[in-house]
Structures are given as structure tokens and as C-alpha cells.
Structure 1
Amino acid sequence: MTEVISVEIVRSPNEDQVATVVGDLVRDQAASKLTAGDATLWGPEAESEASIRLAWTTLHETSRPLVAEIEALRDELRAEGVDRVVLAGMGGSSLAPEVITGTAGVPLVVLDTTDPGQVAEALEGDLTRTVLVVSSKSGGTVETDSHRRIFEKAFADEGVDAASRIVVVTDPGSPLEAASREAGYRKVFLADPHVGGRYSALTAFGLVPAGLAGADIGALLDEAAAAAPLVSADSADNPAIVLAATFAVAHAHGAEKIVFADTGSGIKGFGDWAEQLIAESTGKNGTGLLPVVVEGAGAPGFVDARSDATTVAIGPATGSSSVAVEGSLGAQFLVWEYATALVGRVLEINPFDQPDVEAAKKAARSLLDAPAASSAQPAFVDGPIEVYPSEGWLSPDVKTVADAIKALVAAAPDHGYLSVQAYLDRIDDASFALTRAELAQRSHLQTTFGWGPRFLHSTGQYHKGGHQNGVFLQLTGASEVQLDVPGRPYDLSTLQLAQALGDGQVLAERGRPVLRLHLTDRVAGLAQLVEAIQEDGS
């Protein structure tokens, strides 16, 4: 019989210390107490939040009744000729369903963007065959609310009864629940309110869109159930305890980054889901673990492992990996959730709050209220790229994009990192993600890549609350598409830019260098950007 899930420590320079932390977690019965919902595991300051955030440990049991309900709705919709599922959700509301459907090989259109081109493309699909799943704990998420408003109007314009094509996933008693029932939307699924977004893969937030799209969500719960006894055991063989101890000890020795590569797991996009879980759970109080998702086992940052990182293979071990984790998707979800919560105990942080996420949202809202604040002049223009550095770090003598990127890299402290943040269309502009590997190879920094505003609900917490040694390259671009948000005084382009500027403002206020490159022509801008990155010495 194949193991449910396995963790192989390929190499660890601190085996004795890892064994000590493993022993401490076993002696303290941390795993079984976690399963039992013991909110005292993270200290008195975290107890209030933890007491309402631990229901995820038993979701493989408590989510079972959802399966038949979801499958019944899927059958109803398909009988009506509705077989195209579009998901409007951010963070945990989109990342888990995307992994589940990608791994199952079933189509799901995920909208976790404010790029007008990407949203317009989703609208171009056959709306007579489309159901929109709106996923938000409260309904106040600006991106998701915008998508709902846009699709509701589009359905009506197409002659489709919008209420019959909107399915909602939210928390009980939320403003979105009340508004959805009043609007007569097709169905409202209520998720467990005692589960935070990044731990919600096996709640209605993960299961509803994935199940409607055709994934076997019952089998996913079976996979998690098979792993549950392993992660609940107060044993040195508990894979979650081994992972937590390994990362905590590595962090104590300055290896604060976890580099993820898929080495043949068969799971699609798992690194993006784990990225949010780990970064948002641990990146606070000036500490934490930064996930760096790379393109494969031979990618820069993984193959040339550095002293400030632990390399994790999702799949079979490779010569470059420090740790290898193999198992089914449901088992991986549960093991990494347990490991993240347990490493929070060792690092003495609360893994269930996100104190710095709201800062960027507030800054973006203020910019939407005062559009003139978004009209700053570039420091210089280099072909199709306007260059906007935050104050205090870029010399006025710099006049090319290549030199500005070199200066940004040079501004990173020892063991720092480079974060590339692309507020663009992650479908049509997917080639921009290739800049991560180029920059990592040439900068010799661990380099992350995030699509904005998606990453704001993921690594955004770490960038502002974790180790303050990052430098930030923002990419924004002009759009040929204008898409108004019904009932709101702004369009998506305005919202997208406000989100970039707002987050950049918060990072700059924390003393971090930010370089925003605005592409007046996205195609020509990408070509020039790649050329600038590849220039010798960058």
C-alpha cells in the first residue's frame, strides 16, 4: 500500500536541533491539542483569535454533508445547459479551488484580478452556459464585489436571469449572505465561520467551485481523512511535526525562506496555495518564513540553494532538495496546514491573524477617494517604460531601466530578497512571470513573483510584517480595455493602479525600496524589460 503522505529530510545541517524541537512538540502534545482545538498553544496574546480559527482540523469529517449538496446543484445546472464555472474570489477563496480543479483536470475560470483585460476576457465566454460563484467571507472584498457587479450587469445585458446564475459562498450572518438572499441568488452556501481563509481549502470555499466545475471533492476529503491520524499523532514520525521542526530550526540559523519546486507531484499550482498559507500565517512581528515558488527543480533559487533558504520538493526528492513531501492533494493540504500552525508555536507568533494586510487596502481606498494623488510624474521615461521609484534610494543620475533595476538589487541587504509584483493580466501577460528566473539568476537574490492584487491576499502580509529585507519591483501597464464597475465611481484600471500605488506606499513607509515600472505598451515594454534585466551586471 502506498503511503498516504511522506516527508523525507534529504539533508539537514542541524539534525540534533531538529530532533530536539520534534521532541518538544511531541512532549507538549502539540499535534493532538491542535486537533482538539486547544487555543492556548500559541500563548495568551493569540488565544482569542485562535479560539475561533481551529475548525479546519476536522473538515474532512464536517464538510461531508456539502458533497451531496454541491453535486446536486452541479447536476441541476448541467441539466439547464450551464457547465461553465467562473469563480470570483481572492486569497484562500481562489487559490485552493484553482489547485483542486487544475489537479483534477477540470476547467474553472478564476477571477482574482482587477486587470480589465483579464476580466473582459472572462466576460467573452458563453454567458448562457455560465454560473458565477462569488466567494467572500464578508462580501466586502473590493475585487470580488466588483466582479459580482460586472457579471450581474453582463448577464442582464445578455438576457440571462442573473439571480439564477449566481452562487454565493460566505460566512453565516455576513452582509453578503443577507444581500444574496434578498437578491434571490441561485444558492447560498455557508462556510464554517471558525476557519480562516488560508485554512479553508476543505470548507465550502474550496469545495463549492471545485465541485461545480466537476472535481471529485468526496475523494479529496477521503485523502485528507487518511492523513488525519498521522498529523494528529504526538509522534516523532508525524510529518507535520517534522516539517515544523525543520523549518523552525532553519529559521533560527538564518534560513528564513522556503523554496518550493514541483518535482513531479501531479499537483497543479500547489506552491501558490502553500505560499499564501505560510507567508500570511508566519510573516509578522518582523519574523516569519517566506515561500519562494520556482519553475521547477532546475530553476534559479532551487538548484543553486543558498544558505538563507530551505529547498522543498513537492514530489520525489532531487539532488538539490533539502526536504521532499510526497502525497495526495487532500493529504498535502492537511499536512501543510498542521505544519504551519505548529511552526507558529515554535516561532512564537499567532498563525491565524494578518495584521498588516489591511494597511494596503486602506491606502488603496484613500487613493480611489482622491484620484489626483495617483497622478505623480515619472522620474524618467525609457522608451515604453515610465520609471517611478519610491523616495530616498535611487540616484537622480540613473536614466535607464537597466540601471534602475541594478540599483534596486544593490539596495537589498545581505540575505535579502527581491519581490516582483505584476499588476497585469496573468493570462495574456503570462510571459512576465519568466522575469522571475532571469532576475534570480542575475541578482543572486531569492526572488518571488506575484500577480497583483492576488499576492496582496497572500505574501502581502509577509512583505510588510515579516523580515524587513525585501526590495520590490512593481510592474503596471496601460490597458486598451476600459471596464466600469456598476454602482461604483471607478473603473477596473483605476482600481488596479490604486492597489499598486497603495501597497507601494505602505512598503515605502516601512523603509523598503520600491521601483514601479509602468508599461505604456505592454508588448514593447516586456521586450525592453527583458533586455534590461539581461544587461551585463544586472
Structure 2
Amino acid sequence: MSEQRNIEEAVFGGGLTVRVSREVAEAAEPVLARLLADGVPAKLAAKDPTLWGPAAEAEAGIRLGWVDTFQRSRALLPQLAELREELGDLDHVVLAGMGGSSLAPEVISLTLGKQLTVLDTTDPGQVAAALGDRLDRTVVVVSSKSGGTVETDSHRRAYLQAFLDAGMSPAEAGRHFVVVTDPGSPLEATAREMGATVLLADSDVGGRYSALTAFGLVPTALAGIDVAELLDQAEEFATTLTGDLDNPAFLLGAAMGAAALAGRDKIALVDDGSGISGLGDWAEQLIAESTGKDGKGILPVVVETPTSAGATGSDVLTATVGGSLGVGAVPGSGVAPHVSVNGPLGAQFLCWEVATAVAGRVLGIDPFDQPNVTESKQNTNKILEAGLPAAAPSFTEGDIVGYGDASSLEDALRALLGAAGEHGYVAVMAYLDRFADADAAKVRELLAAASGRPVTFGWGPRFLHSTGQYHKGGPQVGAFLQITGEAAEDLAVPGRPYTFGRLQAAQAAGDRQALAGRDRPLLHLHLTDRAKGIAQLLEAAARLQPYKER
């Protein structure tokens, strides 16, 4: 079998298969050949920090622990079994974490069918709902590598106060916390003062590559998942990483990088319905934050189903993920993807991590830094101190107040979609309650159908820890729709001079400032009544003329 034919049909190994179309195979073949000629598989397995160039070497040198973290994570298993037994009466697991600290555990719990409450928001309604749910049976896993993440610190403060208000002593309240952080972080000291259980993570693994570290395993093990199985799957898959032709992760990385260089610099991530749930949300932050910098990058677009608008396009690499199906076998009459990745979840994590790092080398960027993430955080801190900047609305229509250049909602949406141009994208950023206001996410497909362009949807501030890096550091071709809303009731952040509502508003304003500083098209819609405003927005988006009918 020739090398090219092997690439075109499939590469299988370690329980996982990557299949690519003929078009992608032809583009990937020379890229993969170059990677193999340069000895990249063996160098990556050896954690060689020089793979991404001199400028990236220092950062890569302290961020390659993910290559074999599945081996070191086995030391956690006895601790986790013992901890679960000790906390057996606390059967409601809440994870307070952002970005890589929360997205992998959410995928694991969704896929393996165990309940885990993921708290990755500053929305006062969503936080209050979590606090009011089975408090006496709750264990809170507080996850933060740096220990200084403002959202996670606010969650910790709110839960601690709630436990104390429920009549617990400080020692009793401390028992309800498990803290996962890097050694020596401020959170480690705080946790020990609280009397919380502390589990230290691998300091040489960045947050978005931490799925198989304590960040991914602790909350899911407490939720009742056999995390040893995930490690077994990753270990089996790792045997393929030094191979030449039978190396699925390198084929995927070469395909992603080659496609981006050839103009397909957006990747549609679609669950194929064959046994893995929500992997796209995790892969979204991995790909966007790793590649979106220096004006380059691959934009991940999470698409609801294989038939949803936005799954295809002239600049889109269509990728399906799941447990068993291949190219062309997508349920729901979806079009055949360019790439399919099928295999167990532990192998999927390691495969996408390797592929993203490889794509970074192909694109010539450092996949381990995030130079633009702090900008919105700094803006937020300034706004919390000085107050929200004043702004005059351009229109008020029903339950929506608009800030932009247009005088009506429909005109504003049309103008925003038009601003994306032929090669751009539209990003919807909703600073709302992702459960109570879940219908807001339906606007993504409506705008994709109306524009013919890739449209992403992110819940704020969650997306700031993932696609937020791409928005600022990637190709400056995005048009942005920010949605905020009045909260029915606010909630104090104990020990801080602000509320959750004020923090949420400051984060939204800080991100608007970061985008405005880049002269990107931005439409801000504020919902004076969330439910009515969302319904009004969906109705307006549905009235826009579909792209294919123009």
C-alpha cells in the first residue's frame, strides 16, 4: 500500500482512527513527510522544547508534561479512591474552575453519564442556583493552576460563606472543599488554612492540556467515574506517537496545519453521535488558545449537528468526532467530513493535544503561551475600580437595548454579518446564565444560515479562557456580537467590594474595550428582560434572509 493511499483511507493505532478525505490527504502528505523527516515524533515523545523554534523554547521547556502525564497520574488513583470513600456522604460534586480546569471534566462526565455541576460563570443567577442545590451534600472542587483566577476565587468565597451561614463550623466547612492547584500557588496556602483537602497537579502542564492530570481526574473521580480507564486508553494510544505511517495524531496535526496554510483555517467540530458528548467544547479551547496568536491561527467552530449551518465552507475543515463512525457515515444525512477522529475518550484527549502541538509547529507559532488572555482581565480590574464606562444606546427595541451604529435590531444584525466579509467569522459572546438562558445559543445557527460564514458561540466569561485568545491574537477578521442581560437578583462576593453581577458586567465591558482597541466590528445587545429579549433576538435572526437564497 502506498504512503498516499494509506493516508487517504485511514490511520489506526492505539484504539483510535483518523480518516481524511482525498483533498486533505494530498495537502497533508508533504507536511507529514517533512515532520517525519525532521524526526518530530521521537523529539516530541522526548519532550524536546526546540520543536517550535527559539522564541518558544523557554515556554515549551516547562509545558510538555502532558506528553506522558497519564503515567504520573496513576499515583493519584489510590488517593482518589480513599478520598471518595471519606467523602461518601457528599454526593453532589460541584467543580469551580475555568477553561482547561473545567472543560475536560465536563466532557468526561457527559460522556460517561455521571452528574457533575460545573460552575464556570460569574452570572449571579447561575451561581445562586448552584449554591441552592443540595448544599449539605455538596463537595466543591476548586480548580485553578495559578490560584488567582478571579471567577474561581469568587466561587470559593461564596460557597464558604454559604456553608458557614448553614451553621457549619469553619472545620466542617473546610471538609466540603477539595482544592486542585499547582504547588506553591496562593490557593494552596489558602486551602490549607481552610482545612480543605489539597491535591497538587503537574506544574509542567498548561491548563488546556491538563485533561489527564488532577484537573481532569479529581472532580470526575469524585463524581463516580473510573478514571483509570481514561489513563489506560491514553497509555495504549501513546504507543503510536513515535510511529511513522501508523501515527493518527500526527496525521491529524498535519491535516489541520496544512489545511490552514491552504486557506481552510477554520475547523468545524461536530459530534458524530457515536458515543462521545461535548468534546468539541474542550477541543475548542485547546485549538483556539494554542494557535490563535501572532495574527495566525485555526478557529474552532463547535457545530450542533452534522446538518447544522456552519459545518461546511470553502475555508472550513469539517471534522467529526466520536467513538466509532468514519468519514461518510455521519448520522442525520450530514455531508461527509474532511476528517473524522474516532476512538475512546482518553485516546481522544491525547490525540488532539498532540495534533494541536504539531499544527502549531506547522503554522510557526508557540502552542503553549497565551499572550493576549490577560488583556481583558486587566481591563476588568480597572473597571471594577473605576466603574462601568458610560455608553449611549443606538436603539431600544422591545426588551433589547443596542449599542452600535444601526438604528434597529435587524439592521444591526445585518450590518454585523456583512462586516465579517468573505474570509471572516462572527463570534457570539453571551454573558448570561448558560442553563436558565440556554436558548440564547440557538442564535448561532440562525446567524450562520443568514451569513454563510462560520459563527461561534461562547458563554462569558467562560470563552475568555479559550477562544478569547484567538479573538485578540488570531487573524483580525472577526465580527463580534456581545449579549448581556439584567439579572433578576444580584449576589455578593464575600470579602470583596463587588457583586457577581458587577463582576460579570465588568468582564463584558473589559472584553468590549479589548475588541474596540483592535477596531473590530462589535454589536452589544443588552437584554432588559432575559427571556423576552432572547426570544426577540431569535425572531429577528430568523427573519434574516438565508445566505443561499440571495
The TM-score range, normalised by the shorter chain, is over 0.9
Moved more, 268-277 or 28-37: 28-37
1:259 to 262, 268, 271: 268
2:299 alignment partner in structure 1? 290
Alignment pair present for 1:67 and 2:77? yes
CA offset at residue 536 of structure 1? Answer: 3.7
1:376 is paired with a residue whose SS is coil
CA offset at residue 375 of structure 1? Answer: 3.5
CA offset at residue 353 of structure 1? Answer: 0.1
Quote the Cα distance in structure 2 between the aligned partners of 1:268 and 1:298.
17
Quick check: 2:417–2:479 contact (8 Å CA) kept in 1?
Answer: yes
1:311 to 318, 323, 329: 318
Q: Which one-letter code corresponds to 1:269 in the other structure?
A: G
2:450 is paired with a residue whose SS is helix
1:70 is paired with a residue whose SS is helix
Quick check: 2:258–2:362 contact (8 Å CA) kept in 1?
Answer: no
Alignment pair present for 1:388 and 2:403? yes
1:477 to 482, 485, 508: 485
Q: Which one-letter code corresponds to 2:531 in the other structure?
A: V
Superposition map of 1:411-422 within 5 A: 411-422=419-430
1:13 is paired with a residue whose SS is helix
Quote the Cα distance in structure 2 between the aligned partners of 1:463 and 1:265.
31
Quick check: 1:23–1:236 contact (8 Å CA) kept in 2?
Answer: no
Moved more, 45-54 or 66-75: 66-75
Quote the Cα distance in structure 1 between the aligned partners of 2:22 and 2:435.
38
1:91-143 C-alpha deviation (Å, 9 max, x unpaired): 00000111111111111110000001001000111111011110001211000
Quote the Cα distance in structure 2 between the aligned partners of 1:99 and 1:527.
29
Alignment pair present for 1:340 and 2:351? no
1:494 to 483, 499, 502: 502
Superposition map of 1:51-200 within 5 A: 51-78=61-88, 81-160=89-168, 161-185=172-196, 187-200=197-210
1:242 alignment partner in structure 2? 251
Alignment pair present for 1:5 and 2:16? yes
CA offset at residue 234 of structure 1? Answer: 3.6
Q: Which one-letter code corresponds to 1:52 in the other structure?
A: I
CA offset at residue 380 of structure 1? Answer: 1.8
Alignment pair present for 1:206 and 2:216? yes
5+ residue gaps, structure 2: 1-11, 329-334
Q: Which one-letter code corresponds to 1:117 in the other structure?
A: G
Q: Which one-letter code corresponds to 1:211 in the other structure?
A: A
Quick check: 1:138–1:175 contact (8 Å CA) kept in 2?
Answer: yes
CA offset at residue 38 of structure 1? Answer: 0.4
Q: Which one-letter code corresponds to 1:344 in the other structure?
A: G
Quote the Cα distance in structure 1 between the aligned partners of 2:457 and 2:219.
26
1:246 is paired with a residue whose SS is helix
1:34 to 44, 48, 62: 44
Quote the Cα distance in structure 2 between the aligned partners of 1:265 and 1:66.
30
- Taking only aligned residues, the RMSD between alpha carbons, in angstroms, comes to 1.3
Quote the Cα distance in structure 1 between the aligned partners of 2:195 and 2:13.
47
1:476-532 C-alpha deviation (Å, 9 max, x unpaired): 000112100011111011111111111111011111111110000011101110121
Quick check: 1:283–1:461 contact (8 Å CA) kept in 2?
Answer: yes
Quick check: 1:282–1:344 contact (8 Å CA) kept in 2?
Answer: yes
Quick check: 1:29–1:234 contact (8 Å CA) kept in 2?
Answer: no
Quick check: 1:382–1:399 contact (8 Å CA) kept in 2?
Answer: no
Change over 3 Å in CA distance of 1:2–1:249 after alignment to 2? closer
What's the TM-score once normalised by structure 2's chain length? 0.93
Quick check: 2:100–2:208 contact (8 Å CA) kept in 1?
Answer: yes
1:535 alignment partner in structure 2? 543
Quote the Cα distance in structure 2 between the aligned partners of 1:97 and 1:165.
19
1:8-67 C-alpha deviation (Å, 9 max, x unpaired): 11x242533411111111111212211111000000000000000001111121100101
CA offset at residue 2 of structure 1? Answer: 9.6
1:388-439 C-alpha deviation (Å, 9 max, x unpaired): 12xxxx3xxx321111010111111221100011100001111111111111
Quote the Cα distance in structure 2 between the aligned partners of 1:381 and 1:202.
48
Quote the Cα distance in structure 2 between the aligned partners of 1:308 and 1:405.
22
Aligned residues: 523
What fraction of aligned residue pairs are identical, expressed as a percent? 55
Quick check: 2:13–2:237 contact (8 Å CA) kept in 1?
Answer: no
